[in-house]
């Protein structure tokens, strides 16, 4: 019997031997190249082990129960919301690009270590999940926005009526010398003492706007505010806003769509505000608008999630967790 | 057919060997399903690990080590209840609010239990390694105070040499702070001259004036030298008389993870889950 015959007859023995040789070879190469430590799973009495110390050990099932008790509801909620949002809102390439940009910006701002910590505090593995998180955040916002659109009369109209929301832009001409004093009502009044250069800059801005030049272009050219590069756009603003100084808020609330405010002074210098829009349809793109309406109302915030889950037929099958979660987010015992 | 079955079996065996993730039983059971969604029990298990997993594993390890060290778990539980009741008594009506900062009474209780376990394991470690720790730390029970001027220090020394008590002599020399006796070791935050006195003198008594120059930096980054004149007293050199306080000093100097690590090595810890290894081995080096 020559080698050819032996190979033909015992081909499966050689094949199995070859598989073992490849397996051992790969293992050896990995070891030699000092690859990160690879852990091998171990099963004992039908349960996988997480670790063993002396005669004691922790099984995956025991750990599952422990984790479920501590983090089960919060993890399930995040995942349920994520899965429903994902099914409800189709991913577009624009959304993917935006999420990737947001992730890159976040990583650049905070660095990998801080980004890892932030993501872990949100229940994600690491900064590698940033894209996934920002995509989910967009979808979650869209789901909540769609719900408000569908329930406009109930939630949006009263809020708009009461808080006069708008989208605004702004030009700042910084003035180094500002004096402040209290008026009769106890309010702080600011007076600018501009240099010739600062005054000339303001005059140019006022003249350009009077000549009908586009507000955004003027802002790009003259504004000393960080918003200059985006045409002075500050975004969503309403009567509940507490981010800006009082004089700014007062003036912002006065302007209507297409109007420009008078020049006014704050501790930072001269300001001019422009109202870009009072069209409610444009507000839904701003998370501040949604947050303003949903506020801290957990039941309202989760109403879109539960409605959509029911519509799509997505259900939680763990009865115990479902009961706990529903009592928190729907206000009803299951 | 047999041959194909043998090959498949072989591949299955190799796949099982190369698996590196611990799986839960009924791992394919759907926790969330519908509309093409199939979020399994295993997915859920893996996602839950993203929540402060290192602490969860550490907690489990402390428990296991306590069992392996033969601690009376009932006694540990009683101690926890006692500590909790002490806190309740201390905070009175504000207890619930105080506990809520920890995430509620149950979480607080768990935290007390862990802290007690770590303390117990640490003290056991200190006891087991006492000889080398005494060699390393040279603990004595003593007092150390300083004056900014030499005259006051000399005045106090004269009083001490006349047999006046340390605290009384300090007061008479113009020292106004409270004087406490403490465990002083080679790692104490004291000037070299002072630590040398405590280290070299192995008997109860007081020091001479020990002059030391402390260098600090002002707001402009300039170096400033300040003279300090120390007077010290050794009250006790037998560690058995202040062992509890010495252990407190040790636990302030020792990273509890290092101590736990030594227990893990002692009991030969083995880890069988890649994710657990990746997350935990940086905390516990022996965890591999």
Contact B34 A12 (CB under 8 A): no
Residue B130 is encoded by which pair of tokens? 């006492």
Domain limits of chain B? 53-133+244-280, 140-239
Q: What is the pLDDT of residue A126?
A: 85
Contact A41 B64 (CB under 8 A): no
Residue B33 is encoded by which pair of tokens? 């399903």
Chain B closest-CA separation from residue A4 CA (Å): 19
Q: What is the pLDDT of residue A10?
A: 74
Residues of chain A with Cβ-Cβ distance to B276 below 8 Å are 39, 50-51
Q: What is the pLDDT of residue B240?
A: 94
Closest to B80 in 3D by CA, of B118, B115, B55, B125? B115
Q: Does B47 touch chain A (CB under 8 A)?
A: yes
Contact B267 A53 (CB under 8 A): yes
Helix (H, G, I), strand (E, B) or coil at A213: coil
Q: Which residue has the higher pLDDT, B58 or B288?
A: B58
How many whole angstroms separate alpha carbon B122 and alpha carbon B115? 10
Residue with tokens 């993501």: A119
How many whole angstroms separate alpha carbon A266 and alpha carbon A286? 26
Per DSSP bridges, beta strands B30-34 and A315-316 are antiparallel
Residue A135 is encoded by which pair of tokens? 């995509």
Chain B closest-CA separation from residue A267 CA (Å): 30
Best of B31, B58, B73 to disrupt the A interface by mutation (most A CBs within 10 Å)? Answer: B31
Q: Could you confirm whether domain A164-283 is CATH 3.40.190.10?
A: no
What is the per-residue pLDDT across B4-21, written as a single tens digit (0 to 9) for each? Answer: 555 555 544 444 444 577
Closest to B245 in 3D by CA, of B202, B180, B182? B182
Which string of DSSP letters, residue by residue, matches A92-117? -HHHHHHHHHHHHHHHHHHHHHHHHH
Best of A41, A123, A324 to disrupt the B interface by mutation (most B CBs within 10 Å)? Answer: A41
Q: What is the pLDDT of residue B12?
A: 46
Q: Which residues does B115 contact at the CB level (< 8 Å), separation at least 6? A: none
Helices B243-253 and B105-128, packing angle to 10 deg: 110
Helix (H, G, I), strand (E, B) or coil at A235: strand
Chain A closest-CA separation from residue B269 CA (Å): 4
Which string of DSSP letters, residue by residue, matches A57-97? EEEHHHHHHHHHHHHHHHHHHHHHHHHHHHHHS---HHHHH
Confidence bin at B282 (pLDDT 50/70/90): confident
Determine how many CB atoms are found less than 10 A away from the CB of residue B133.
21
Percent of chain B at pLDDT exceeding 90 = 55
In chain B, alpha helices (H):
2-18, 41-48, 53-68, 73-91, 95-100, 105-128, 130-137, 150-161, 166-172, 192-200, 243-253, 256-266, 274-280
Residues of chain B with Cβ-Cβ distance to A48 below 8 Å are 22-24, 272-273
Mean pLDDT of B103-109: 82
From first CA to last CA, the distance across chain B in angstroms is 42
Percent of chain B at pLDDT exceeding 70 = 93
How many whole angstroms separate alpha carbon B206 and alpha carbon B137? 20
Q: What is the pLDDT of residue B195?
A: 92
Confidence (pTM): 0.74
Q: Does A55 touch chain B (CB under 8 A)?
A: yes
pLDDT by residue for chain A (334 residues), tens only, comes to 666 777 677 777 777 777 777 767 665 655 555 556 778 888 888 899 999 999 999 999 999 999 998 889 999 999 999 999 999 999 999 999 999 999 999 999 999 999 988 888 788 888 899 999 999 999 999 999 999 999 999 999 999 999 999 999 999 999 999 999 988 888 888 999 999 999 999 999 999 999 999 999 999 999 999 999 999 999 999 998 888 888 889 999 999 999 999 999 999 999 999 999 999 999 999 999 999 999 989 999 999 999 999 999 999 999 999 999 999 898 765 4
Chain B closest-CA separation from residue A1 CA (Å): 22
Closest to A137 in 3D by CA, of A98, A105, A109, A93? A98
Best of A67, A321, A322 to disrupt the B interface by mutation (most B CBs within 10 Å)? Answer: A67
How many whole angstroms separate alpha carbon A223 and alpha carbon A48? 63
Chain B closest-CA separation from residue A306 CA (Å): 13
How many whole angstroms separate alpha carbon B230 and alpha carbon A234? 62
Helix (H, G, I), strand (E, B) or coil at B148: coil
Best of B16, B18, B36, B44 to disrupt the A interface by mutation (most A CBs within 10 Å)? Answer: B44
Contact A52 B29 (CB under 8 A): no
How many whole angstroms separate alpha carbon A330 and alpha carbon A143? 17
Q: Does A279 touch chain B (CB under 8 A)?
A: no
From chain B residues 77-106, the ones with a CB under 8 A of any chain A CB are none
Q: Does B9 touch chain A (CB under 8 A)?
A: no
Residue A22 is encoded by which pair of tokens? 């490849």
How far, rounded to the nearest angstrom, does the alpha carbon of residue B99 sit from its chain's CA centroid? 23
How many whole angstroms separate alpha carbon A212 and alpha carbon A209? 5
Residue A299 is encoded by which pair of tokens? 């039941």
Q: Does B37 touch chain A (CB under 8 A)?
A: yes
Handedness of CA A242, A245, A251, A252 (dihedral sign): negative
Closest-CA residue of A relative to B60 is A58
Q: Does B10 touch chain A (CB under 8 A)?
A: yes
How many whole angstroms separate alpha carbon A239 and alpha carbon A248? 11
How many whole angstroms separate alpha carbon A137 and alpha carbon A133? 6
Domain limits of chain A? 3-61, 72-155+297-329, 164-283
Residues of chain A with Cβ-Cβ distance to B71 below 8 Å are none
Residue A81 is encoded by which pair of tokens? 């919301």
Best of B3, B18, B48 to disrupt the A interface by mutation (most A CBs within 10 Å)? Answer: B48
Residue with tokens 């603003």: A237
Contact A71 B51 (CB under 8 A): yes
Angle at B279 (CA atoms; ends B273, B284), nearest 5 degrees: 95
């Amino acid at each position: 019997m020559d080698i050819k015959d032996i190979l033909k007859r015992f081909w499966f023995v050689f094949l199995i031997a070859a598989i073992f040789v490849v397996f051992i070879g790969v293992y050896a190469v990995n070891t030699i190249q000092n690859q990160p430590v690879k852990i091998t799973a171990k099963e004992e009495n039908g349960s996988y082990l997480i670790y063993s110390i002396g005669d004691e050990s922790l099984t995956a099932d025991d750990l599952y129960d422990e984790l479920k008790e501590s983090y089960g509801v919060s993890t399930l909620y995040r995942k349920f919301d994520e899965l429903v949002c994902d099914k409800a809102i189709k991913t577009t390439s624009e959304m993917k690009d935006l999420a990737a940009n947001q992730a890159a910006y976040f990583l650049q701002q905070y660095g990998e270590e801080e980004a890892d910590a932030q993501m872990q505090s949100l229940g994600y593995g690491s900064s590698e999940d940033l894209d996934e998180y920002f995509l989910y955040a967009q979808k979650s916002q869209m789901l909540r926005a769609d719900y408000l659109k569908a329930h406009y009369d109930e939630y949006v109209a009263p809020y708009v009526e009461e808080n006069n929301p708008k989208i605004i832009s702004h030009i700042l001409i910084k003035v180094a010398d500002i004096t402040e004093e209290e008026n009769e009502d106890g309010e702080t009044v600011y007076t600018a003492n501009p240099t010739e250069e600062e005054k000339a800059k303001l005059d140019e801005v006022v003249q350009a706007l009077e000549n009908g030049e586009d507000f955004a272009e003027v802002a790009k050219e003259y504004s000393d505010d960080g918003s200059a590069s985006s045409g002075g756009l500050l975004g969503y603003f309403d009567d509940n806003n507490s981010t800006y100084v009082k004089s700014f808020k007062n003036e912002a609330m006065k302007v209507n769509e297409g109007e420009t405010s008078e020049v006014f002074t704050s501790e930072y210098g001269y300001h001019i505000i422009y109202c870009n829009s009072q069209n409610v349809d444009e507000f839904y793109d701003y998370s501040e608008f949604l947050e303003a309406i949903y506020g801290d109302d957990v039941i309202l915030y989760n109403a879109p999630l539960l409605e959509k889950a029911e519509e799509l037929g997505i259900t939680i099958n763990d009865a115990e967790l479902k009961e706990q979660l529903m009592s928190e987010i729907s206000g009803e015992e299951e | 057919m047999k041959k194909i079955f043998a090959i498949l079996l072989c591949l299955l065996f190799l796949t099982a060997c190369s698996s590196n993730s611990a799986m839960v039983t009924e791992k394919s059971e759907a926790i969330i399903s519908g509309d093409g969604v199939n979020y399994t029990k295993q997915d859920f298990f893996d996602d839950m690990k993203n929540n402060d997993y290192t602490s969860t594993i550490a907690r489990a390890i402390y428990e296991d080590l306590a069992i392996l060290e033969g601690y009376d778990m009932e006694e540990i539980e009683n101690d926890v209840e006692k500590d909790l009741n002490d806190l309740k008594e201390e905070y009175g009506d504000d207890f619930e609010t105080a506990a809520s900062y920890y995430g509620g009474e149950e979480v607080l209780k768990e935290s007390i239990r862990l802290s007690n376990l770590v303390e117990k394991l640490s003290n056991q470690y200190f006891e087991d390694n006492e000889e080398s720790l005494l060699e390393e730390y040279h603990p004595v029970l003593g007092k150390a105070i300083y004056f900014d001027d030499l005259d006051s220090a000399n005045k106090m020394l004269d009083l001490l040499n006349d047999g006046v008590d340390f605290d009384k002599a300090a007061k008479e020399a113009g020292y106004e702070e409270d004087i406490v006796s403490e465990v002083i070791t080679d790692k104490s935050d004291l000037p070299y001259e002072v630590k040398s006195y405590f280290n070299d003198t192995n008997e109860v008594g007081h020091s001479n004036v020990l002059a030391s120059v402390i260098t600090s930096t002002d707001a402009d980054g300039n170096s400033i030298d300040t003279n300090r004149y120390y007077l010290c007293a050794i009250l006790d050199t037998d560690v058995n008389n202040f062992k509890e306080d010495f252990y407190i000093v040790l636990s302030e100097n020792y990273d509890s993870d290092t101590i736990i690590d030594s227990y893990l090595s002692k009991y030969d810890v083995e880890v069988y889950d890649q994710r657990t290894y990746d997350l935990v081995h940086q905390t516990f080096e022996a965890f591999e």
